[in-house]
Chain A
Amino acid sequence: MSAKPIKLVGAAVLAVAGAAGSFTLTTVVMDQMPDALLIGVTTLLAALVVVTIRAAGLGRFLQATPPRDLIIAALGGAAAFWVAPLVVLSQRASDAPSGSEVLFFTTAMWGPIAVAVAVVVLQERPAWAGFAGAALAVAGAAALLANWERPSSFSPFAKFPEQEIVMLGAGAVFALGSAAILMVARKHDNRLVAAVAAGGAGLLSAVVAVFSLGDYGQTIVRLSTELILLGVSQAAFIGGWTSLTHERGLLRSSSVLLSIPAVMTTLFVVERVTGIFGPIPFQIPAVVAGALVCLAGAVSVWIAGTGTAAPAATSGRLAEVAGFLAWLGLAGAAVALFRPALSAAAQGVLGDGFSATWVMVGAESAAGWILFAAALALLAAVRTRRMGSPSATWVSLLVAALVALAASPMLIDTTLHTWNQWVPAAVQQTYGTEYARFSVEALVDPVWIGSAVLVVLSAVLLLSSVLIDRRRAARPELEETQ
């Protein structure tokens, strides 16, 4: 944990850039050859890059390290860097699930899974801060991805639920593989453990790829530039991710996964502004709001538990009331998830026309989940402060919750799924054209508003209790006289 900040930031940037590059390049070449061959070739290339860079001392390390540790690292690498991407790719067709859904289920949603594995398997703490920050980041990511376009193709668990659940399973494989590598890295030289992990992934992927080669030799040659770039992207991710998990632990490193949708969106905005690949009809204010929530949650996970532990809070009654209000806010937000939040309408004019209006509940809206996650974050802030966690932990959670609440009005009419099983497919496929339309309008829910007010009140009381504690600490004689 003693790495310099610049090194940590460098590893984080490498991991994010590697993941973003891998996602983009995989989308470019995925339909051109069998999944096992594509992932096999690129994982082998990535392994070659990592092993080459970290070759110094590798021979001695292999001889001196217990075989059990080497096998765990190699299998962990194979799971995280070969099996997980292969499973994901096996669930993707050219445009189904949509790019926004795949990005969501293979980056942001892997964040809480990594946090869960870090808490359960590696016993990393603080669990509350990790889960709350991850929840906020996931809610923000969903909100921003649902605003990449309108009508949005982002409809998690609506059109391709099986594929998306399998992608979550791949996330568990990735997190468990990362945990295995980390456990070995904590006992040995991390750089060389990472090389063994990459080597394990490369070796197994190469063996399987040979059986998928068939007559795709020419295709590999034709796509050599893309495949090399993809291999380098994967190598960057492996290098950055293994360094980061070693220095910051798996829980805090999951912030990298959580932030990828926001980072990729930023790249797309740059692309839109420069007009390199043409426009994407982003809903800019909503996307910015979603990205802020996503990044605020990711930052709180990145910071969680770092710094010097503080003495437990003493301003008893005020902090208790803050905690009580936060619980009430969370309960209200949970209730709001089941209450009417949006009025939706779908209309199609092709063939036999279709026209329907219905009500969507809070669980189908971005604002519903953002309020829930904000209340959770505030509750985590109250709890972590009471338990004497470093101030950066609860301050970042408090700030993230307030950022989320401030951003939620921009996301009040964002639905988390446009696709419905029961609306005729012919209508849904022509949404956004002159033949069909889908629209949503926010409904006023007093429970949502009341819960948001409770969360804000809780935040105010938490800050007040901090000020009182500081005043008491500065004037201990007052304590004695009272």
Chain B
Amino acid sequence: MRRLISATTVLALALVLFGGAGCAPQVEVRTGTKVVCTYGEVISDGIHTVKVPAQDAGKYKVRTITRLCPRHAQLESLYQAAQQALAAGDMAAAKKALEQVVAIDPAFAKAAAQLDTIAGGGKPAPDTSSPGGSAATTSTPDKPGDADTGSPAESLLVWAPDKISGFTASRPTVDPLTIARQYVPASGSDAVSFVIAVEQFPSAKLANSGLTAQVKRVYSRDSDTFKLNGHDVYFGTDGQRYGALGFVDGAVMVVLEMSGKSGEPPSGLKSALKAAANQLP
């Protein structure tokens, strides 16, 4: 009888401890709303951390609203007007609009280039791509990995650009420390889906650990490493449909994930991923 009680006690203890694992502790949750410009700049950040009982944690949400900020809206409008003027052959109107663009954002490279061409007596071809293709690059720092982590989203966007040859970009999902952006492949592409995920870590060491945990271990088949744009790049597949290419730039981890057609070896995605990565900084 004593042994029966002992055995039952041990079993009950195990059940309580294992079962208790699901019990609700205190949880720190982030909550609030953040407004981010389509181009990645944080317009307002009302997100804060609160400590709540775990059972209430699900009620707390982190809302990220993406909208075009007035500055970029003005830039888009002026740049668009300049392109229409160029198309119509009205160099004076184009020059005036482009000068306004550069006055607002001196780093607007395409506008500056068109102005230089006009100043040299040339006639630049109108830019038919979306204005975002230029504007998104206006405020990015030179070295994204070293960017101020106070608003890293805008610095991370440089790794998920509006234009990648052979793909159409969707709007990025922006979070303070991560950006994910889907790209729709053009017809005839080897890829079925394509995503670029960028994550800001506190240090380069942790970014490398992240690369190992999130890329090298998950995509461990067909692995290869090579240099690309000065980065040590890892390529691997899951052996089924997915291939990934990842690298670290400072404290930033950049991962390009692509799925191929069913039945085709994912190792074939390597060249498409390399081509896409080649268009990154």
Contact = CB atoms under 8 A, between A and B. Distances in A.
Given A158-B21, A279-B239, A356 B27 contact: yes
A277 to B, nearest CB: 10
Nearest to B58: A424
Interface stretch (B78-86, B117-125, B217-225): B217-225
Contacts, number: 114
Interface in A347-373: 347, 349, 352-361, 363-364
B7 interface: yes
B230 interface: no
B175 A349 contact: yes
A422 B52 CA distance: 12
Interface stretch (B61-69, B184-192, B246-254): B61-69
B54 A358 contact: yes
B3 interface: yes
A473 interface: no
A281 interface: yes
Interface stretch (A78-86, A236-244, A315-323, A413-421): A413-421
B168 interface: no
B239 A422 contact: no
Contact of A157 (B21, B57, B60, B173): B21
B217 to A, nearest CB: 6
Interface centre among A127, A358, A417, A421, by most chain B C-beta atoms within 10 angstroms, is A358
Interface centre among A158, A337, A356, A417, by most chain B C-beta atoms within 10 angstroms, is A356
A165 to B, nearest CB: 8
Interface residues of A, number: 44
B3 A355 contact: no
B11 interface: yes
A119 interface: yes
A153 to B, nearest CB: 15
A337 B18 CA distance: 10
A435 interface: yes
A422 B7 contact: no
Interface centre among B10, B197, B257, by most chain A C-beta atoms within 10 angstroms, is B10
Contact of B28 (A135, A161, A356, A424): A356
A479 interface: no
Interface in B49-100: 54-58, 60-64
A106 to B, nearest CB: 16
A421 B22 contact: yes
B21 A416 contact: yes
A5 interface: no
B20 interface: yes
A410 to B, nearest CB: 15
Interface string A141-164: 000000000100000111001000
B18 A416 contact: yes
A429 interface: no
B245 to A, nearest CB: 14
Given A158-B21, A355-B62, A278 B54 contact: no
A358 B26 CA distance: 7
Nearest to B7: A116
B22 A420 contact: yes
Contacts of B29: 354-356
B21 A278 contact: no
A434 B195 contact: yes
A420 B54 contact: yes
A153 B236 CA distance: 24
Contacts of B56: 422
Interface centre among A135, A157, A435, by most chain B C-beta atoms within 10 angstroms, is A157
B56 to A, nearest CB: 8
Nearest to B220: A279
B19 A422 contact: no
Interface in B204-249: 213, 217-218, 220-221, 238-240
B101 to A, nearest CB: 32
A9 interface: no
Nearest to A425: B58
Interface in A316-353: 337, 347, 349, 352-353
A420 B4 CA distance: 33
Interface string A241-270: 000000000000000000000000000000
Contact of A353 (B20, B54, B64, B240): B64
Interface centre among B21, B61, B63, by most chain A C-beta atoms within 10 angstroms, is B21
Contacts of B19: 157, 161
Contacts of B10: 112, 131, 135
A283 interface: yes
Contacts of B15: 157, 165
A135 B10 CA distance: 10
A417 B19 CA distance: 10
A156 to B, nearest CB: 6
Contacts of A157: 15, 18-19, 21-22
B180 interface: yes
Interface string B165-176: 000000001010
A135 B17 CA distance: 14
Interface string B1-42: 001100100110001011111101111111000000000000
B61 A278 contact: no
Contacts of B149: none
B178 interface: yes
Interface centre among A116, A157, A158, A434, by most chain B C-beta atoms within 10 angstroms, is A434
A337 B17 CA distance: 8
Contacts of B213: 150
A156 B30 contact: no
Given A116-B7, A352-B61, A353-B64, A363 B28 contact: no
Contacts of B180: 349, 434-435
Given A281-B218, A435-B180, A156 B24 contact: no
B48 to A, nearest CB: 11
A414 B239 CA distance: 26
B218 to A, nearest CB: 6
B54 A422 contact: yes
Interface centre among B24, B62, B178, B221, by most chain A C-beta atoms within 10 angstroms, is B62
A310 interface: no
A311 interface: no
B202 to A, nearest CB: 13
Contacts of B217: 150, 281, 283
A120 B178 contact: no
5 contacts: A347-B175, A417-B21, A421-B55, A432-B218, A435-B180
Interface of B: 3-4, 7, 10-11, 15, 17-22, 24-30, 54-58, 60-64, 173, 175, 178, 180, 195, 197, 213, 217-218, 220-221, 238-240, 257
Interface of A: 112-113, 116, 119-120, 127, 131, 135, 150, 156-158, 161, 165, 275, 278-279, 281, 283, 337, 347, 349, 352-361, 363-364, 416-417, 420-424, 432, 434-435
Which 5 A/B pairs are nearest by Cβ-Cβ distance? A353-B62, A352-B61, A355-B30, A358-B27, A363-B17
